[in-house]
Amino acid sequence: MRTIALVLTLAAMTSLFAQPSSSYRVTHTYTLGGEGSWDYIVPDPPHHRLFIARQNRVMVVDEDSGTLLGEVTGIQGAHGTALAEATGHGFATSGNDQSVVMFDLQTFKVLGRIPAAEDADAILYDSASNRVFTLNGDAHSSTVIDPRAGKPIANIPLGGKPEYGVSASDGKVYANLTDTSEVVEIDAKTATVARRWSTAPCKQPVAMAIDTAHHRLFSGCRSGMLAVSDYLAGKVVATVAIGAGVDGAGFDAASGDAFASNADGTLTVIHQDAPDQYHVVENVPTPQGSRNMGLDPTNHRVFLVSAKFGPVPAGARRGPVLPGSFTLMTIERDAAGR
């Protein structure tokens, strides 16, 4: 019995030491500057560009050099960006005037403005239906857009306040409903809600990522938890603890690592041991407030932004961004951790 116990103990220790140590770190920092707050960071993997929402515009930045390539202007309350490569058009939500700005993906020239709904926030492109979907927070709806004509097709009531969403590339679109703590499934072709399910015990889901190979959704919740859903079964199959104030998520199929970017100054890295089994690998230190992220799956880089703020005016949540302080960071996995 002692021999068996010793073998089991040694096996457990070997497994423990085999777990990867801290393997992700900030490898590059680029000062972008410019005024205004920010929101979603949307990578464009084929061209290694980033589309970063900056209050009244979208900055387009080269991933490799941190060079500003151009800007999409004329936006009032910039939040999300969707890229419809098949049509050569990009779409940026303009939340303050309840619209979407359509622009040329090569020149960044504004081509038109499309009516949406109150608090047009996140936006995504679904290749299976060749449609763009806005997620309108305060309106509790999704506006469906024809990406070639730049015209609205339908407006879908969602029954709750949507935050971020993803396309499964199979004709289904998923979104978090933060006020009801649910995931909603949208049939992209019929523009109707097909299903919904609870993210409990994960409350206030905001950020979302997807693993299409295993049919899993990752919902980052403001309750300090990430919920993993089987989207074929329509149920939560696992939860893990993450940092506070999450607002971004990603999943890298090549490494099996999921990410949650948090306002508390951490990037939580979660490894997928099996489709229903996960463990936290590490919490990478990041600047306070770096809660938005983008992941480029072609080079496995995670991108975060941060800035320094001035004094908080009366009645405001935060102070103005200090001139010249807006910064882009690249986070990569060390060669030893691969």
Tell me, what's the pLDDT at 268? 98
Tell me, what's the pLDDT at 21? 54
Domain map (residue ranges) of the chain: 39-198
Tell me, what's the pLDDT at 315? 81
Distance CA 275, CA 53 (A): 33
Tell me, what's the pLDDT at 323? 85
DSSP bridge partners of 51 = 42, 60
Q: Which residue ranges in the chain fall short of pLDDT 70?
A: 1-22, 335-338
Torsion of CA 295, 243, 125, 333, to 10 degrees: 10
Tell me, what's the pLDDT at 5? 44
Tell me, what's the pLDDT at 320? 83
Burial of residue 178 (number of CB atoms within 10 Å: 0-12, 13-18, 19+): buried
Tell me, what's the pLDDT at 337? 55
**Dihedral class, residue 181 (left if φ above 0, else alpha if ψ from -120 to 50, else beta):** left
Tell which residue, 174, 168, 142, 171, has the closest CA to residue 155. 142
Tell me, what's the pLDDT at 336? 58
Q: What is the CATH number assigned to the segment(s) 39-198?
A: 2.130.10.10
